[in-house]
């Protein structure tokens, strides 16, 4: 679902969700996110976060980690994509929070696979918002806790 602007700059909301059509407990979908070492390197370059735990296996293990781990902000931002795609407009997300509960180890070869599922947790007709709760897991264990996005929607 994407919103497109016409020549006048008016945004066509087309298939964007409407508050009146939602119910608490509705699913907004699921997503699988894969992290590999090259993606960590690209993110480090973009973010400026060159902490050795994100690229040096020996160092990460010496400081007590299971190995190289994905950047927390990369994980958090990637997860938010489920909400922005569902909402049809990244600007509709007015609040987004999470708590980091465990790292996502990224193998030297292959990928680490993170699973994301979202459900409508609350609806606020007065504010015109829905709160989406996300469940984020890696190998069956939650890696982000209390991951919530508040999305402003048309009535």
Q: pTM for the complete prediction?
A: 0.87
Its domain, for residue 99, covers: 22-152
The structural domain count of the chain equals: 1
pLDDT (tens place) for every residue of the chain, 155 residues total:
333 333 333 344 458 999 999 999 999 999 999 999 999 999 999 999 999 999 999 999 999 999 999 999 999 999 999 999 999 999 999 999 999 999 999 999 999 999 999 999 999 999 999 999 999 999 999 999 999 999 999 99
Taking each helix axis as running N to C, give the angle between helix 37-47 and helix 72-87, from 0 to 180 degrees, rounded to the nearest 10. Answer: 90
Residue 38 lies in a domain: yes
Residue 34 lies in a domain: yes
Dihedral over Cα of 40, 44, 49, 51: its sign? positive
Contact 96, 78 (CB under 8 A): no
Residue 52 lies in a domain: yes
Closest CA to 73 of 30, 94, 104: 104
CATH of the domain at 130: 3.10.129.10
Structure tokens at 10: 């008016």
């Amino acid at each position: 679902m994407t919103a497109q602007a016409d020549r006048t700059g008016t945004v066509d909301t087309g298939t964007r969700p409407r508050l009146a059509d939602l119910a608490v407990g509705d699913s907004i979908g699921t997503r699988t996110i894969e992290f590999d070492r090259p993606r960590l390197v690209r993110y480090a370059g973009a973010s400026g976060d060159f902490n050795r735990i994100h690229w040096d296996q020996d160092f990460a293990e010496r400081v007590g980690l299971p190995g190289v781990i994905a950047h927390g902000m990369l994980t958090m931002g990637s997860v938010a994509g489920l909400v922005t795609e569902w909402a049809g407009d990244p600007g509709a997300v007015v609040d987004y929070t999470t708590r980091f509960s465990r790292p996502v180890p990224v193998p030297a070869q292959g990928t680490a696979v993170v699973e994301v599922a979202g459900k409508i947790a609350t609806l606020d007709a007065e504010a015109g918002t829905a709160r989406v709760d996300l469940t984020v897991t890696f190998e069956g264990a939650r890696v982000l806790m209390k991951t919530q996005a508040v999305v402003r929607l048309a009535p």
